[in-house]
Each structure stands twice: as C-alpha cells, then as structure tokens.
Amino acid sequence: MKNKIVIGVGNYLMSDDGIGCRIIEKLNDINIDLNFDFEDISNNGMEILSFLKSDIDTILIIDSAYMNKNPGEASIFSIDDIETNKIIIGNNIHEGDIIYILKKYMSILDNNIPRIYFMGIQPYKIEPGFELSNILSKNMSLYLDMVINFMK
C-alpha cells in the first residue's frame, strides 16, 4: 500500500454529484504507475475515517461542492481552510457533513493523522440522472491532471 490516497465521494445516480466517483473510474483506466492509491467510496463518506491511520501520509478527497464558482471549476484546499455551512436535517450519517465529522474526529486524535485535502468541483446540476453534465465531462482530463500533479 502506498502512503497517499485519493478518495472519490459522491452519488452516481445524481448527475454531477458523482464526479468524485467518476474521477476514480478514470484513474483506473490510466496505464501509468501512480505514486498513490485511490478508492471510490461513493455515498459512504464515513468510510473516510478508516483511512485516518499512521501509514497514510496524505489524503485527497474529491467531491462536488458548491463554492460560488462557475460550473466545472475545481479547487484544492487543505481541510483546515474549509468552512462548512451544510444544513443537516435529522441525525443521519448519509446526510452528514463529512468536513465537520473529519474535523471533530481529528480534534480527538493525536498528531499521527494524515494531511487531508479536499478537491471541490462546482456542479452544473445535481438532479436524478446517471450522466455528468457536459461541462464536467469536458473537464475530466483537467481534473485528472490536477489530481496527478497535486499528489506528486
């Protein structure tokens, strides 16, 4: 196992919300040796906690995110630089705010936790559907380049 991992999060059934998972699919198709592992955890955001262990040095989480940017724009942030304002209805881990959960979890751990980064991609649409919007589909090679270059 390598000491860096890229984690794709999202819902394949909700158009652009599946972008994190789709990027992981494309990484599987690349025929080059990457210096990081990658994992699609889809809707199971709580699974990210299983990667917070001492043999992992760096985690990059990819998901759609409303960031007040143009659809298709992507940015990479340290988790320390992210403020979340997601409104949670009920007490359901499927509706959970993974940034909030990670920060809480990190606050109780010692210093042996990985550096955590988040790649947010501004969606064009999140609605029922299997396909990404045209803008996100057209930007796929850009997203792959961003991930590969960031993880070097």
4-150: CATH topology: Rossmann fold (3.40.50)
Contact by Cβ (8 Å): 46, 101: yes
How confident is the model at residue 24, as a pLDDT?
96
- Whether the per-residue pLDDT at 94 is higher than 60: the answer is no
The pLDDT tens digits for 97-111 are 677 777 777 777 666
Domain boundaries, the chain: 4-150
CA 148 to each of CA 35, 69, 137, 144: distance values in angstroms, whole numbers, following the listed order = 9, 22, 18, 6
How confident is the model at residue 86, as a pLDDT?
55
- Whether the per-residue pLDDT at 89 is higher than 50: the answer is no
- Whether the per-residue pLDDT at 55 is higher than 80: the answer is yes
Q: Which two tokens stand for residue 130?
A: 């299997």
Q: Strand, helix or coil at 146?
A: helix
How confident is the model at residue 4, as a pLDDT?
95
Residue found under tokens 């955890």: 41
- Whether the per-residue pLDDT at 13 is higher than 50: the answer is yes
d(CA 131, CA 109): 39
